[in-house]
Amino acid sequence: MLRELIDEQGWLLADGATGTSYFAMGLQAGDAPELWNVDSPEKVSDVHREFVEAGADIILTNTFGGNRYRLKLHAADNRVHELNAEAARIARAVAQESSRQVLVAGSMGPTGEIFAPVGTLTHDEGVEAFREQAEGLKEGGADLLWIETISSEEELRAAVEGAGTVGLPIVSTMSFDTNGCTMMGVTPQGFGQIARSLSPQPAAIGANCGVGAAELVATVLGISESRRDTIIVAKGNCGVPEFVDGHIHYSGTPELMADYARLAIDSGARIIGGCCGTTPEHLRAMRTALESHERGERPVIQDIISRLGEVSKLARGEAIAIQGRSTRRRRSQR
């Protein structure tokens, strides 16, 4: 489905920020946006509609924290199915209004728990939580499942396996926010390799959120370096957060995000969107940029830095991350 649409248009535009949009509509810091799927569905529809009107081909449901572990914080862990199904119905209804084909992607964020062996959540518990969420999303009419902001390989595997039980295509993105790696130390290239062994195979993989548009494009370069054979997603933040007049504001301008979209295409991404701070205005600028953009040469890191801003040492090639292994001697080797 994604492949055909991409073949047709050359790329697909995913939507922008949900959480930061809800703040503007009165969401209080600390409250669960997912409860709005039942309590204020019209606000959820409005955000979707604005992004569709701005040119989104894919909209993500309001279910980022819709798994039982996150909903437990709001004493709503017994409402996983309901909140996810409602969210997918809301998005589906908005998608149907459009004359273009708009896909509904069921957003699935991390549990927030640490997986075994370092943490306590088992693989099976993780699979079960993601399966439960995926079933709700499917029932509500999601076209595909969109696993995002994942940091650890263990959670990635559990999420893909759990989502895979309902038979919808899966998109899976990780968040690279720590020295060019995920918080748990996965490199962009490493993610590309890990994704090969996922079951079922995701229809697309990529990066979302993280630390600004420049690093996101650098991450896409890393993923595409190890994987030329898959659809790659770029869903980066709109610059970095600032606090202005009591509100979170992201530093990126529409012009910057337009250039980010062009660079993401040149770096190998085929599905482009925005994460935190990306408004419909930004998305519109990205659409216009993509429509007039001829795919250019693969950029080098210097191009990204000069056009979008600074990147991590790892992305600059100045630091080599050593994954999951100490460089110091162990007792048995002495």
Of 103 and 238, CB closest to another protein: 238
To another protein, the closest distance from the beta carbon of 299 in angstroms equals 23
To another protein, the closest distance from the beta carbon of 34 in angstroms equals 11
**Cis geometry, peptide bond prior to residue 200 (ω within 30 degrees of 0):** yes
Looking up tokens 């989502």 gives 163
What are the beta bridge partners of residue 235?
208, 273
Is there binding between residue 6 and another protein (CB under 8 A)? no
Binders of another protein among residues 222 to 241 (CB under 8 A) are 240-241
To another protein, the closest distance from the beta carbon of 265 in angstroms equals 26
To another protein, the closest distance from the beta carbon of 63 in angstroms equals 13
The Cα–Cα gap between 3 and 6 comes to: 5
Our measurement of the distance from residue 13's CA atom to the centroid of its chain's CA atoms, rounded to an integer in Å, reads: 13
Among 13, 27, 88, 171, binds another protein (CB under 8 A): 27
Total of chain residues touching another protein, rule CB under 8 A: 60
What are the beta bridge partners of residue 60?
105
* Total number of residues shown for the chain: 334
What are the beta bridge partners of residue 48?
none
The Cα–Cα gap between 76 and 32 comes to: 10
Give the burial string for 264-296 (b: 16+ CB within 10 Å, else e): bbbbbbbbbbbbbbbbbebbbbbbebbeebeee
Of 23 and 93, CB closest to another protein: 23
Binders of another protein among residues 279 to 318 (CB under 8 A) are 312-314
Site track for another protein across 97-116, x = CB under 8 A: --------------xxxx--
What are the beta bridge partners of residue 121?
115
Is there binding between residue 248 and another protein (CB under 8 A)? yes
Stretch that binds another protein, among 63-71, 98-106, 253-261, 292-300 (CB under 8 A): 63-71
To another protein, the closest distance from the beta carbon of 288 in angstroms equals 26
Is there binding between residue 331 and another protein (CB under 8 A)? yes
Among 2, 83, 211, 223, binds another protein (CB under 8 A): 211
The Cα–Cα gap between 74 and 12 comes to: 34
Among 31, 39, 97, 291, binds another protein (CB under 8 A): 31
Between the CA of residue 143 and those of 105, 139, 169, what are the distances in Å?
A: 6, 10, 8
The Cα–Cα gap between 270 and 81 comes to: 31
Q: CB 242: neighbour CB atoms within 10 A?
A: 11
Stretch that binds another protein, among 1-9, 24-32, 36-44, 198-206 (CB under 8 A): 24-32
Residue type at 228 in one-letter notation? R
Q: Please report, as ranges, the residues that interact with another protein according to CB under 8 A.
A: 17, 19-20, 22-23, 27, 29-33, 65, 69-70, 73-74, 111-114, 118-119, 151-152, 175, 177-181, 183-185, 211, 240-244, 246-248, 276-277, 312-314, 319, 321-324, 326-332, 334
